[in-house]
Structure 1
Amino acid sequence: MGFSEAVLWWEEWQLRVLVLCSLFLQFFLCFAGYLRKRQIPSWLRFLIWLAFLGSDAAAIYALATLYNRSKRQEWVTMHRRSASLQALWAPILLVHLGGQDGITAYNIEDNELWRRNVLTAGSQVTVAIYVFCKSSSEDMIIFIIASILFFYGTVKCVQKAPLYEALQLSKSGCNITKLVHDYVAKGWTEHHIKDIATYRAFNDNRGQWTLRREGLLDILRWSLQRPFHESVLLWHLATDLCFHFMLTPPTHEAASQCREMSNYMAYLLFVNPEMLIPGGSRTQFKAAYRCINQFIHNDDGPAANTALDENEIALKIVVNALLDEDGSDIVQYAGKLASLVMRCSDMDEEKMWRVIQGVWVEMLCFSAGRCRGYLHAKSLGTGGEYLSYVWLLLLYMGMETLGEKMQRTELDEDGMAAVLYRYNQNI
């Protein structure tokens, strides 16, 4: 088949191919669209994204083909029987352009484009009306079916714009949220939190309560007075060092929970630092990786070419941190922190993991309360984050929101210490 024959074949069959392609994409989105809200493989999420973009493109291309054919009177005359059947295709394509109920918008940013969607829907309906009128069938049954589909498709297209607009943040919605927040706060906090100082301390602590309860605050306070993303990385490394140094079995319940929280917070630090804390950065994470990699491979001793397991690496880092008191990188600090936690716990695993567990729970709540609500909403489109559940729980309990934290006029002792530490690091 030559190029000219291929062009003629495409002219004859392109409408059928495009309609079938559009129909296939709509069936795929009908079943796969709801999976987007769950944790699914990246390749399946990529296919859903392609189908979401391609569904509109295929339907618009097919509608444009119908429009061009309806303008060619000679084609309508030669294919009168086919043109009569095509009276159904414009309404069907209009229904396709209305989209699936389970995936109105792929990203939260699409909600900001509702004005553009109004114009797009208007142009699509106008073209469909023209094609429908030009290819109206003399068969009354086909005409009735096409009219019903056309009405349904028009409603679907016009309905998309109000849906986008309704999903935007509104002042009235914020006021309702504040009303519910205040109502729940009065019901829970008046029995448990008596004064504003305690209320703020509950919101601001990121491990201090646990350390104070265990009598370790004076010794380990320094690990929590660093910028939050650095404290997360520091305690993440220290948690793994304690686990491997103490040869804790993987079945240990408290140790398993601590490592899950630790790994999750480290995952947020590397993948989504802005959700962990506003202004968060993964730079320290990369620096720690390079430092550990260099630390493992720069051994000039007799075991330089011997592969070390995780327990041996943990032992090496902790011992090196104890011998080199002048070390200033994050891995050295993590080794010192791990040794202090183990020593202050009198090498008692139960107490050690109780301390680490309490610190991670406070850090998780601290991070959830400081993540913007917009990021929580945005994460729902990709299956959601565990941090969002913690945030909702804190909000239900009446805890302070990020906006309220940002409007404070003073800092507590630990907050001021973190600011001074960052200032001294920069000068």
Structure 2
Amino acid sequence: MSQFWRAVQWWEEWQLRFLVLASLFFQYFLFLAALLRKRRIPAWFRALIWLAYQFGDVVAIYALATLFNNHKKDEVAAGIRGHLDTLWAPVLLLHLGGQDGITAYNIEDNENWRRHLLIAASQIAIAIYVFCKSWWFDDTRLLRAAILLFVPGVVKCLEKPWALKNATVTSIIDSSDPQMMLTMEEKDDKPAKTLEDYVQAATGRVKEPQKEETPDEYFVNKMNDEPYHLFVDLSHPYSIRLKNLEIMAAETGRDEVHDRVRLFLSRGFDRLYTKHKASYGGVLRAIVVFLTFVDIGLFQESRRSTYVPADVVVTYILLCCTAALELVSACVVLGSGLPLPDDQIAQYNIFGYLARNKKHWTLRHLAFLLGLKDHLDHLWCTTPPVPSRHITELVHDHVYGGWKDYIDADGVRHVNDDQNKETGSRTGIKAVDYYHRFNDSRGQRTLEWENKILLERSSATSMTTPTPTPQEPQPPPQLHSKPLGHFERSLRRPFDESIIIWHLATEFCYFDHVDTGGDAPQHSRVISNYMAYLLFVRPWMLMPGTRRGLFRAVYLELRKMLGDKKSEWEGGDEGTDKKKKMKVPTRAMDEIARRIIQKVRNPPKRSAARPRPGRVSADELVRHAWDLAHELMEFAKGKAVEIEENKLKEEELERKRMGKPEDVAVTIKKMTEIAISAKKEGDDKMWEVIQSVWVEMLCFSAGRCRGYLHAKILGNGGEYLSYVWLLLSYMGMETMAERMQRTELPLDGDTGALVTTLDLEDDDDNEQAPEDPPRKQASEDPSGTTATSSAAAVVPTGSGAAVVPVVGNDNNV
């Protein structure tokens, strides 16, 4: 029993030393962790960062509480510690202020700034108490050192809750810069007041960019420094958005877009999770660094021989390491800053998921027993992440082409209406409607373009065909590329079902077709795997109402199609030979894909039972995906036949023009070369269509994820979807606020316009308010409160191609 009490006494004597050293260790770990948080780091290391973030404050608070108790017991007067711990209190306040690069671990921590402020106030009070108890100490040099470090310790301790408050949603909303908005509006000769003006000005600037050597320096600095307004779904005024578009589309070019967007996200991360926006931050850091080194000198000149040797060593370690940490931290923050965020694209492939689960069934079974199977699926992707620069360039080209070629800048585009072909009347569609339609497209623009080409070729073929005689009726012109029916139906389904269908179709086309070696197949699979990753791991970012269970249901359906026994997937029964279970052959992804393709190509006879109401059949999704893939492959074959026929005609015309005799051997050789080349071009065209659809789906998903979710995911390493979302915003696409406020009626005004009040010198209480302008009649102003009920029932003209009847059940609505 005496040994126990000795251990207790030893701990009471040494616990404060251990606590201050532990607090120092946590600060060093948090400093190193802050350099890595923007990257895609392992989950176990991110868990360590969270523990260090929590224990860093706990240990500092516990150490200050121990100091308070020691001084309350008058242990200093008894000679146990000899007033040396008076110098530890302001250092602990510096530790409680935390590191500059990690003020918040999650976005929700910013909303708890009041709690951090209360903790800081209580700990400052304890430090003041400890300081006052040692005020009459004889060692004046030690007292001066404590005084010099006490003031910056208090300020830095209060800086953390101040930085947290500045990163709250309310603070960001209230922190808009009216001076920048007014400056941009004054520089704009023709400011856009309505959406129609903005769309027309934007298309004009894309087609004919203004010739400026460099963008306005003031604006570029603000553009780099204030992307965080988008994280609370705040839109910029049209004048600023036009300047953004001009810089991103004209000045920057596609080669620099990725780096600029990456810098924007880094600035947003700094505002939300660091002390980047704290005023007086640079001055405070310089003062803290200077005073910590001054304290080391004062402690060196103090009466160190009168103190406990262990306390002297701890004080030296505490002061020197804290000074070095503050110096390096100040150099990082005031210098180049924290590293840029990760720009990798996560990958999740359903066939790779099948192959992985078959190979590592033991690990999955253990995770299932521990209740960690879903957590394992989230953390363990089937394919390593890949760089995203080329995908960003595809998105840039997609948006730039939309402004330049799809959205009509002339105001009205006339399209023939099938119902009015006989009368020759036309339907006028405004450029704003095409702007909305482009933002709502998730593959319809690609389908519209391909159908337009087919119709043009059909019309050209009909015009070149001779008029048939009554005796010999001419058959209709034969087109090798048929209308894409399954293509259109796949886009009419709910968005999450479209994702899983196109993901399967992309894999079917990839494994059933020879890879041509181009970039389009690789880019298509990268985006396809990333969208599958969002569906399975981050469904709340893909789109509101996304059903994560679709991926799991299709996986179970594919596993059933493979016909493997349950023992091969889940470890088998007790009677199964153990060696046989451990030697289950590992199938590669292509083998599994080819087996599934064989199954869906030759489906077994099934009963005519339909899924219950309110449910989606996974078998239907898989077979719809195969029908889509088959249609795309037939589309490629049709393109190849057309290309081959055109090349053979050109070759025959060239031979006749040159007057060369027909050589059978040479002709066969050329025909073979033309056939091979045509097949490759047909496959390339198919992959270009698939790639275009995936780019549209990626943009569609990015535009429908709230800015708050993008801000939240930044704290966990970020997602590539945030790159696309930010690029769309800076290239003038419709923001979340505009989409939510889009009405059936014409919208007057700018959703991001600055709201100003009268200047103070013009505000006279005795002056009467200006009279309101005369109200228009209800028929003239449908947006007013006096609009008639018939005006409220107007059908929207810009609903976009994505707003179509849904096939099947849609649980997303």
TM over 0.5: yes
Superposed CA deviations along residues 187-227 of structure 1, whole A, max 9, x for unmatched, are 55987633111101110111111222233554411111111
Q: Matches of residues 202-217 of structure 1 in structure 2 within 5 Å?
A: 202-215=438-451
In 2, Cα distance between the equivalents of 1:174 and 1:205? 31
In the superposition, relative to structure 1, how do residues 179 and 214 fare at CA in structure 2: closer, same or farther (>3 Å)?
closer
Instruction: Check the 8 A contact 1:205/1:366 in 2, yes or no.
Output: yes
Superposed CA deviations along residues 94-114 of structure 1, whole A, max 9, x for unmatched, are 111011101011111011112
Report the counterpart of residue 124 of structure 1 in structure 2: 123
Report the counterpart of residue 98 of structure 1 in structure 2: 97
Report the counterpart of residue 323 of structure 2 in structure 1: none
Structure 1 range deviating more: 327-336 or 180-189: 180-189
Matched to 2:29, the amino acid is F
1:230 counterpart = 2:230: no
2:552 to 286, 289, 300: 286
How far did residue 384 of structure 1 move? 1.3
How far did residue 319 of structure 1 move? 4.2
Report the counterpart of residue 2 of structure 1 in structure 2: 3
Q: Matches of residues 16-55 of structure 1 in structure 2 within 5 Å?
A: 16-55=17-56
How far did residue 298 of structure 1 move? 4.9
In the superposition, relative to structure 1, how do residues 391 and 174 fare at CA in structure 2: closer, same or farther (>3 Å)?
farther
Report the counterpart of residue 167 of structure 1 in structure 2: 167
Instruction: Check the 8 A contact 2:447/2:487 in 1, yes or no.
Output: yes
In 1, Cα distance between the equivalents of 2:142 and 2:808? 76
Structure 1 range deviating more: 56-65 or 214-223: 214-223
In 2, Cα distance between the equivalents of 1:271 and 1:36? 20
Superposed CA deviations along residues 281-326 of structure 1, whole A, max 9, x for unmatched, are 2110110111111111259xxxxx9875433433343344344498
In the superposition, relative to structure 1, how do residues 243 and 65 fare at CA in structure 2: closer, same or farther (>3 Å)?
same
In the superposition, relative to structure 1, how do residues 179 and 44 fare at CA in structure 2: closer, same or farther (>3 Å)?
closer
Report the counterpart of residue 109 of structure 2 in structure 1: 110
In the superposition, relative to structure 1, how do residues 307 and 163 fare at CA in structure 2: closer, same or farther (>3 Å)?
closer
Q: Matches of residues 406-425 of structure 1 in structure 2 within 5 Å?
A: 406-408=740-742, 409=744, 410=796, 411-412=799-800, 414-418=802-806, 421-422=808-809
Report the counterpart of residue 262 of structure 1 in structure 2: 528
Matched to 1:220, the amino acid is F
Report the counterpart of residue 87 of structure 2 in structure 1: 88
Cα RMSD between the aligned structures?
Answer: 2.6
2:620 to 325, 329, 333: 329
In 2, Cα distance between the equivalents of 1:44 and 1:382? 12
In 2, Cα distance between the equivalents of 1:306 and 1:16? 58
Matched to 1:65, the amino acid is T
In 2, Cα distance between the equivalents of 1:127 and 1:162? 20
Matched to 2:154, the amino acid is T
In 2, Cα distance between the equivalents of 1:364 and 1:65? 55
Matched to 2:709, the amino acid is L
How far did residue 144 of structure 1 move? 1.5
How far did residue 422 of structure 1 move? 3.3
Instruction: Give the SS at the match of 1:50.
Output: helix
In the superposition, relative to structure 1, how do residues 186 and 160 fare at CA in structure 2: closer, same or farther (>3 Å)?
same
Report the counterpart of residue 239 of structure 2 in structure 1: 183
In 2, Cα distance between the equivalents of 1:413 and 1:367? 15
In the superposition, relative to structure 1, how do residues 309 and 163 fare at CA in structure 2: closer, same or farther (>3 Å)?
closer
Matched to 1:224, the amino acid is L
Higher share of residues assigned helix? 1
Instruction: Give the SS at the match of 1:113.
Output: helix
1:317 counterpart = 2:615: no
Superposed CA deviations along residues 344-372 of structure 1, whole A, max 9, x for unmatched, are 12173211211111111111111110010
Q: Larger Rg: 1 or 2?
A: 2
Superposed CA deviations along residues 122-174 of structure 1, whole A, max 9, x for unmatched, are 11111111112123443222112111221111101112222112112234357
Instruction: Give the SS at the match of 1:126.
Output: helix
Instruction: Give the SS at the match of 1:416.
Output: coil
In 1, Cα distance between the equivalents of 2:716 and 2:62? 29
How far did residue 398 of structure 1 move? 1.3
Instruction: Check the 8 A contact 1:372/1:402 in 2, yes or no.
Output: yes
2:684 to 350, 357, 364: 350
2:727 to 379, 393, 404: 393
In the superposition, relative to structure 1, how do residues 310 and 160 fare at CA in structure 2: closer, same or farther (>3 Å)?
closer
How far did residue 374 of structure 1 move? 0.4
In 2, Cα distance between the equivalents of 1:5 and 1:355? 78
Instruction: Give the SS at the match of 1:2.
Output: helix
The aligned length equals 416
How far did residue 179 of structure 1 move? 6.2
In 2, Cα distance between the equivalents of 1:400 and 1:292? 38
Instruction: Check the 8 A contact 1:66/1:131 in 2, yes or no.
Output: yes
Matched to 1:240, the amino acid is E
In the superposition, relative to structure 1, how do residues 111 and 413 fare at CA in structure 2: closer, same or farther (>3 Å)?
same
Instruction: Check the 8 A contact 2:486/2:628 in 1, yes or no.
Output: no
How far did residue 407 of structure 1 move? 2.9
In 1, Cα distance between the equivalents of 2:62 and 2:715? 28
Structure 1 range deviating more: 212-221 or 320-329: 320-329
In 1, Cα distance between the equivalents of 2:547 and 2:175? 32
Percent same amino acid at aligned positions?
A: 48
Matched to 2:507, the amino acid is D
Instruction: Give the SS at the match of 1:92.
Output: helix
2:695 to 354, 358, 361: 361
Superposed CA deviations along residues 373-394 of structure 1, whole A, max 9, x for unmatched, are 0011111112211111111110
Instruction: Give the SS at the match of 1:39.
Output: coil
How far did residue 54 of structure 1 move? 0.9
2:717 to 376, 383, 391: 383
In 2, Cα distance between the equivalents of 1:364 and 1:190? 18
How far did residue 78 of structure 1 move? 2.5
Structure 1 range deviating more: 170-179 or 222-231: 170-179
In the superposition, relative to structure 1, how do residues 275 and 173 fare at CA in structure 2: closer, same or farther (>3 Å)?
farther
How far did residue 28 of structure 1 move? 1.2
Consecutive unaligned residues in structure 2, runs of 5 or more:
179-228, 246-401, 410-430, 452-482, 566-583, 609-616, 638-678, 745-795
Structure 1 range deviating more: 141-150 or 13-22: 141-150
In 1, Cα distance between the equivalents of 2:92 and 2:585? 65
How far did residue 86 of structure 1 move? 0.6
Instruction: Check the 8 A contact 1:321/1:333 in 2, yes or no.
Output: no
Report the counterpart of residue 302 of structure 1 in structure 2: none
1:370 counterpart = 2:704: yes
Instruction: Check the 8 A contact 2:497/2:550 in 1, yes or no.
Output: yes
